């Protein structure tokens, strides 16, 4: 029988304390080995909360699967901001380059409702709206309208 533990951990900085230790301890595996593996796999997401899934089989062997951080965490990292705006339509929290929105969309594509990059980028821009983050200095809705008009088609086609 396989036991599954799913947790959010800080990228590259997981510890044997909560939430991992109490969840993994009763399964009889080497918690430090699991934590080391998680930190190795999540190091590139330093400073972000990362979803991690640990599967432990009946032979006490474990498999660590790392998910992609939430879209908001990726936007904050790319825009170099601590948090989104308290008043998204009034106060601008930061600016995201369009290329970064495309990168985020590519990372998140598997877990999104979108089937193609163009609509995935629009989903990322929708998150920018709620966070008060501009895209290339413009309101995200203006960029979405420009995408709908085909103005970003070449940028999207070049990044596939």
Same domain, 92 and 154: yes
Give the E-state strand segments of 11-141 in sequence order. Answer: 49-56, 62-66, 94-96, 133-135
85 and 154 share a domain? yes
Number of structural domains in the chain: 2
Boundaries of domain holding 48? 3-66
- Which of 18, 42, 66 is the C-terminal boundary of a domain? 66
> How many whole angstroms separate alpha carbon 118 and alpha carbon 112?
12
Strands 94-96 and 133-135: parallel
Closest CA to 8 of 44, 38, 40: 38
User: pLDDT truncated to tens, each residue of the chain (160 aa)?
Assistant: 789 999 999 999 999 998 898 999 899 899 999 999 999 999 888 888 899 999 999 899 999 999 989 999 999 999 999 999 999 889 999 999 999 999 999 989 888 888 899 999 999 999 999 999 999 999 999 999 999 999 999 888 876 5
Strands (E), the chain: 3-10, 49-56, 62-66, 94-96, 133-135
Question: 49 and 111: one domain?
Answer: no
């Amino acid at each position: 029988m396989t036991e599954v533990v799913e947790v959010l951990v800080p990228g590259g900085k997981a510890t044997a304390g909560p939430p991992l230790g109490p969840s993994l301890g009763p399964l009889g595996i080497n918690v430090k080995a699991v934590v080391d593996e998680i930190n190795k796999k999540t190091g590139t997401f330093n400073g972000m909360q990362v979803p991690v899934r640990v599967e432990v089989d009946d032979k006490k062997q474990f498999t660590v699967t790392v998910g992609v951080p939430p879209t908001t965490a990726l936007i904050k990292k790319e825009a170099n901001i601590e948090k989104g705006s308290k008043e998204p339509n009034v106060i601008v929290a930061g600016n995201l380059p369009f290329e970064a929105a495309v990168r985020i969309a590519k990372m998140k594509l598997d877990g999104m409702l979108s089937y193609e990059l163009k609509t995935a980028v629009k989903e990322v821009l929708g998150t920018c709206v709620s966070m008060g983050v501009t895209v290339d200095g413009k309101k995200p809705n203006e960029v979405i309208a420009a995408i709908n008009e085909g103005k970003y088609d070449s940028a999207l086609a070049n990044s596939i």
